[in-house]
Amino acid sequence: MQLTDIRPRLLLGPGPSPVSPSILEALARPTLGHLDPQFLELMDDVADGLRLAFGTDNTMTFPVSGTGSAAMEASLVNVIEPGDTVIVASNGVFGGRLAEMSRRMGAEVVLVEAEWGRILDPDAVIDALRAHPGARALAIVLAETSTGVQQPLAEIGAAVAATDTLLVVDAVTAIGGTPVAVDGNHIDVCYAGTQKCLGVPPGLAPITFSEKAMDRIRSRTVPCASWYLDVSLLAGYLGSERKYHHTAPINMVYALHQGLSELRAEGLEARFERHARAGDRLKAGLVDRGFTLFAQEGHRLPQLTSALLPEGVDEGPLRRRLLDEYGIEVGGGLGAAKGKLWRIGLMGHGACDENVDRLLAAVDDLFGSAVA
């Protein structure tokens, strides 16, 4: 296949999201070396932009050289030592992944579960924390991409802050679309992705560590099992020493730099409002068309809507036609939700009325012909 043959899509799935022309243009700027003073300055700008997006003053804030799951792994592998107890609160695919990764690192995992599509009851999570006072970390997903649920964190964060346990939060789908408030929520390790509400292609994964987390890392008794993701080594490159660790994905950093400049220009609050408006418009349109919203009322993400299809509709072929005939990508269900629901993202550059209307018009066409 030739690259020039690529048919562009309107990306309304769970990510990647549509990338603006200005960010694609940034990607194509001339490659610099990873120790070039110009590049190091760009990396410092990116760290500042990420602090704004995360809502934190943490010094140790940077993009991991990988995609969201690499940062999930980085967030766990730096703080966990074999034999540690880790509480994982799970109500979807990404909570399950946090548990699986923790086990592979040798942690004893205490699982607190909720039904997919529902939030984790903060009291149940806090009970688990009280029952395991020596737990090294409590890991939870803020924006569960597999179900569209937004988890309330304030009570949990306050409870964890009063202990020696570290709060690890997945904000992959949240960042840039809904508040993360790392400092406000007392989050110790928070990771994200570029390819959702930041509107940047996949390939980097923002992460931030609180001082409490860095203290824990400095007092490890065995080295971090991953050399590539070891934040104590990365600190040598990101700090004033500028010591070579690994070669950063230079051009991807350009794209993130541009994405963060655009976020700063728009303003966080205005961006959250834009995502909220588009999400509301979509949800109303889907309900009008016989879809059933899957996520618990009052805890629905604006940027990622999960919706069960009308009774009797075979979603796979329709989703394929939406892609092939209308050039629109939406996501299917994962795990237990496979074949039952669509996951529709209105993220970053894609969060606008026009995209909602284009999707709903295509759905009308398709469902008309599916019924006929």
Q: Does position 65 bind a second copy by CB under 8 A?
A: yes
Q: Does position 25 bind a second copy by CB under 8 A?
A: yes
> Angle formed by the axes of helices 211-218 and 231-238, to 10°?
110
Q: Does position 141 bind a second copy by CB under 8 A?
A: no
Site string for a second copy, 223-242 (x = CB under 8 A): xxxxxx--------------
* CA 352 to each of CA 179, 209, 256, 347: distance values in angstroms, whole numbers, following the listed order: 18, 33, 21, 9
Q: Does position 63 bind a second copy by CB under 8 A?
A: no
Task: State both tokens at 45.
Answer: 């700008």
Task: State both tokens at 248.
Answer: 């950063």
Q: Does position 100 bind a second copy by CB under 8 A?
A: yes
Cα gap 327→64, rounded to integer Å? 31
Task: State both tokens at 300.
Answer: 């629905």
Question: Residue 9 or residue 299: which is nearer to a second copy going by CB?
Answer: 9
Q: Are 320 and 288 in contact (CB under 8 A)?
A: no
- Residue 97 Cβ, how far from a second copy at the closest point, in Å? 7
Q: Does position 325 bind a second copy by CB under 8 A?
A: no
How many other β-carbons are positioned within 10 Å of the β-carbon of residue 360? 17
Residue 291 neighbours by CB under 8 Å, 6+ apart: 307, 308, 309, 310, 342
**Which residues is 300 bridged to in the sheet?**
149
Question: Residue 210 or residue 258: which is nearer to a second copy going by CB?
Answer: 258
- Residue 257 Cβ, how far from a second copy at the closest point, in Å? 6
Q: Are 174 and 180 in contact (CB under 8 A)?
A: yes
* CA 155 to each of CA 92, 173, 210: distance values in angstroms, whole numbers, following the listed order: 21, 21, 18
Choices 111-119, 129-137, 193-201, 301-309; region in contact with a second copy by CB under 8 A: 193-201
Taking Cα atoms as reference points, which of 214, 196, 218, 213 lies closest to residue 205? 196
User: Contacting a second copy (CB under 8 A), which of 239, 246, 273, 287?
Assistant: 246
Choices 67-75, 158-166, 182-190, 281-289; region in contact with a second copy by CB under 8 A: 67-75
Q: Does position 42 bind a second copy by CB under 8 A?
A: yes
Q: Does position 33 bind a second copy by CB under 8 A?
A: yes
Query: Rule CB under 8 A: which of 147-186 touch a second copy?
Result: none
- Residue 320 Cβ, how far from a second copy at the closest point, in Å? 9
Residue type, 201: P
DSSP string covering 295-344, please?
SPTT-B-SSEEEEEPPTT--HHHHHHHHHHHH-EE-EE--GGGTTTEEEE
Q: Does position 67 bind a second copy by CB under 8 A?
A: yes
- Residue 260 Cβ, how far from a second copy at the closest point, in Å? 11
How many other β-carbons are positioned within 10 Å of the β-carbon of residue 119? 20
- Residue 186 Cβ, how far from a second copy at the closest point, in Å? 27
With CB under 8 A as the rule, give the number of residues binding a second copy: 68
Task: State both tokens at 149.
Answer: 């649920």
Q: Does position 371 bind a second copy by CB under 8 A?
A: no
- Residue 94 Cβ, how far from a second copy at the closest point, in Å? 11
Question: Residue 122 or residue 331: which is nearer to a second copy going by CB?
Answer: 331
Q: Does position 16 bind a second copy by CB under 8 A?
A: yes
Which residues are near a second copy by CB under 8 A?
A: 1, 3, 6-9, 11, 13, 15-16, 18-19, 24-34, 36, 38, 41-42, 45, 65-70, 72-73, 97, 100-101, 104-105, 193, 195, 201-203, 223-228, 244-252, 254-255, 257-258, 323, 329, 334
